[in-house]
Structures are given as C-alpha cells and as structure tokens.
Structure 1
C-alpha cells in the first residue's frame, strides 16, 4: 500500500499546475461545485492561499478575513490540501496559528512550502491524525524550537510531480514529537529560522529561491474539519539548534579564518570565522545561527 506521505506529495504538488479561475487573485470565498470547492490559488485579504482537491470526496474550503481559512472534508476518499500564508516564503519567518483542528484519519497540520535551486519540498508538522509521517522518512537528528522537540527527517522523491513538473527532489521534515493533540482547539508558533538552521546543520540545505509558505491542512482518504488563523510574528526565543547527529556538509566551528559555503559564520555565542569565501555572504537564519550562502 502506498504510504500517506507519498500520496500527499502528489496532492500538494498538483496545486502549481492547476488552472486558476479569473477571480482567484482576490475575493475567493466559498465556491460550490459538485464535490465542494474548486481548486484555486491566489491572494485574499492580504494573504496568499493555496487550495487543491481531486474531488473524489466532498471538501469545502473557505477563505475568511485576514489570515483565516476553514476546511471541512468527508467521504473518506480523495486527496486535499489548503491553507494561507505568503508568497514568496523565507528562511526566517516566525509564523503563528490558532483555531481548531479535528481530523478523523490521515491528515496533517503543518507549515508547508517549496524552494528552488535546489528544488525542495518542506514540512514543519505540528499535528497529524492517524498517520505519523516519521514512519516513512530517514531520521537525521532532532531540534528544539519554541520549547518543543522535533524529529528531523529527509526523503527522496524520484521522478515525481513537483511545482516544476516531474522531477527528482528532496523532502525536508520537522515533525513535532509528541504532536499537538488534534481534536479541538489548537495554537502555536513556528520559528521557521530555527528549523531551517537545524536542517542546514545536518546537511539539509534549502534552495536560494522560495515559492509559497503556508499553514496547510491536508487530508487523504479521511474526514475532518479545521478553522485556522495564520499570522506573522510570535516568540523567537530558541536555544541554538542542535542535532543528535553531526552535520554532513557543514564544517566544524573554527577560531577564525575564511568560512566556506554552507558553513556557520555567526550567531549569538559564535567564536569562529565570520568572513565567507567569495562570492558568498554571511546571512542570519535567526539570532543563534548565521550561514555562508
């Protein structure tokens, strides 16, 4: 049986190739179709949104004011993913969310997005239903962000659909352990800079060009509901990102000298080199970690 994570990748990737209705760039609300709300993406009330369904089940997606969206799905069939956020994304955005999340079966609630150069699909999973995505990925380490522990994982997608057509690409994961309990009220803050820095420390480097970055609700052959409000900002107090395994590509800290590409070049308490080899520059992921990019 194909794993939930494999099928969800196909779901989320399809969004980029779908035709967008003429009114999708503003004012997209409840659009009724035979199986619910038609697939669409664009901007609404100051936020980017993305919504896709294969119409196999019944799914209704609604954009609310500001960063709010709601989703109800049923039928225990089909694939769907939707949410609000920003386009483009960034490596250091602090994202807060609040609302309700009640899945029945396979589902994720996650910060989700893409980068190019290289092509990377990423998840920071805050909660999930009956399927733990960690079971189908290779664990690279762990990190503590905003007081919560996350497993760091990586998977390879070979010649699968993507935002740039059929490609081979990597998936990066941070999966909260334990997950936030689904089944009602839920809220939290994701300091994405903490996760991107932790990924880099184990050799998982995001691309230089970001596509969208949203707080997404996904479902596969399940039912449920979600009403989520997304906003930028929140607590950014984190310890330095640490992994249970050493970096695979980043050099160890040094007392000085020129830092190669991908190496750490700054951050609170850093005593190593701060000058990157040309043409790279030292870029801050958060207060604890800067990297030559």
Structure 2
C-alpha cells in the first residue's frame, strides 16, 4: 500500500475507544498508517506500530487485516462522507484473541462525536464501561445503547474532549445488514444527537493488545446505493423500538463519587450512588462522576 505523504493527521484515526494506559511501544514492521480511496471506496487505516499488523485493500469493498499481539490498530472500508440514512451490508470472516471490535465506525463534527455500531467484539464489552441509554431493536436484534466521554483524547481534530455513542449487538455476528439510520434515530430519541457534518463511515476491525485477522467486504444496500446520500430510506423497511433505561435504583451497595466502578478485570462495585454515573476513563478504569 502507498503511504500518503501527509498521513492526514497522524492522530486523525488514532481514536480508538479500546485504548487504555499508554504502554511502552516498540515499533514493528507492518503497513504504514494511511487513508484515501481505493476502487470506489474510502478506506482508513491507523496503527501505533506496537504490533506486527498488515492492512490490504482488496477489490471494491474488500479489505484484509492481520495483526499480532501488542499495540493498537483500526482500519476498514466504507464511505466519506457518511450519512444519516445508509444501509450497510457486510460479509466475511473475523477471528480474534483478546480485545477487539468489528463495527460500523465513524465521526461527525458540530459537535464532534465518535460512534460505533458494534456487531462483534472480543474480551471487552464497551457497554460495561459506558452510561446505559436503553436498548434499540433493529433488524430483529437487540442492541444496548450507551454513551461515554473521552477527555483530552486524540480525535480527527487533534486532542479534544468529545462524546462516544454506542450500539452493541447482544447476539454477535460476522455478516449481515445494518440500518445505520435506525440506530441514529434511536440515539436521538435517547438524547444522543450526532453532529451536522459527517466525516467517514466505515466497517472497521479494531484491536488493542490482541491478535487476530479479519477479511471483510462491504457494500451499500441503501435505496439508490450508488448515490445513497440523496435517497431517503423508506420508513417501512425497518421496524425499530426503543426501550428507555430503567430509572429504578439498583439493589445492593453503591460506589461513591470518584470511586472505581468498572474496567477490564474489575470485580468491585459497578453501580454509582445518585446522582453520579459510571464513566469510562480508559479501558482499565471507570469512575463515578
């Protein structure tokens, strides 16, 4: 793969929600970070060079990523800009050992939002470290909605504080059709509004100190898929229901303000005393605030 000279903001795709405390990283050989267009699709690939990782663009919407243990990486193919009404179909294989996501992934500006529709994941479920916002049923599957805050973290616009929006599929899969617009509408109903300006929207594989491989092919299944940004999705094609999060106080002991309430390997209290909520500081530490 040709590496773009500018590498387009080295931090622009260093946005990985999986990232925890920065480890000492020794750079290893692999595919350099880059993004651009290939065979009619936008692609984005970022790695911190902490693992032996290769990204390969295949024909049309296909890509292949293989990564070894160590480091942080994310890449995939899709579209730039994204839009509010795309229906995405993806197929392929996804194998992992450790912390990884397979997700519809993108960004908006005004405001700056990073979003994930997680279809499959490894050892860490991101909903466990975020504030629950209820559930949404899309395409006959239940997704847990959640929101988390990233404070002074890398983004497409440099180091910023921004919100992350999540839909995490309970019944994991590696292939199917995702009505992106249905998720966006459910988020809005739960008070999670995306920005007005879309950046990219891809089907991504992400890994954090794990190993694995994915071979994914994406396509636009929207009405008028060759120019989906101008064609609204017929409302009758998808049935969406939103369940509000419970307002009932949880039973049992509650964590106090500034106390730890989650994180990978955490086995202590996970519920916060009112009015505090459990917010992800990083993969390893979540705090009542």
TM-score, normalising length: structure 2? 0.71
Aligned match for 2:79, one of 69, 73, 86: 86
Cα distance in 2 for partners of 1:86, 1:98 equals 17
1:73 is aligned to 67
Give the Å deviation of 1:93. Answer: 0.4
Give the Å deviation of 1:158. Answer: 1.4
Cα distance in 2 for partners of 1:61, 1:104 equals 18
SS at match of 1:127: strand
Cα distance in 2 for partners of 1:141, 1:190 equals 19
Cα distance in 2 for partners of 1:222, 1:158 equals 24
2:287 is aligned to none
Q: Label 1:192 to 1:54 Cα distance change in 2 as closer, same or farther (>3 A).
A: same
Q: Which runs of 5+ in 2 are unaligned?
A: 1-6, 13-26, 224-232, 247-289
Alignment of 1:129-148 (within 5 A): 129-148=122-141
Judge which range, 119-128 or 234-243, deviates more: 234-243
2:192 is aligned to 204
Equivalent pairs counted in the alignment come to 214
Cα distance in 2 for partners of 1:166, 1:43 equals 25
TM-score, normalising length: structure 1? 0.70
SS at match of 1:161: strand
SS at match of 1:50: strand
The RMSD of aligned alpha carbons is 2.0
Q: Is the counterpart of residue 233 in structure 1 residue 221 in structure 2?
A: yes
Q: Label 1:115 to 1:177 Cα distance change in 2 as closer, same or farther (>3 A).
A: same
Q: Is the counterpart of residue 242 in structure 1 residue 234 in structure 2?
A: no
Contact 2:11–2:155, Cα closer than 8 Å, also in 1: no
Alignment of 1:1-293 (within 5 A): 17-18=9-10, 35-74=29-68, 76-180=69-173, 186-233=174-221, 237-245=237-245
Give the Å deviation of 1:221. Answer: 0.6
Q: Which runs of 5+ in 1 are unaligned?
A: 1-14, 21-32, 181-185, 247-293
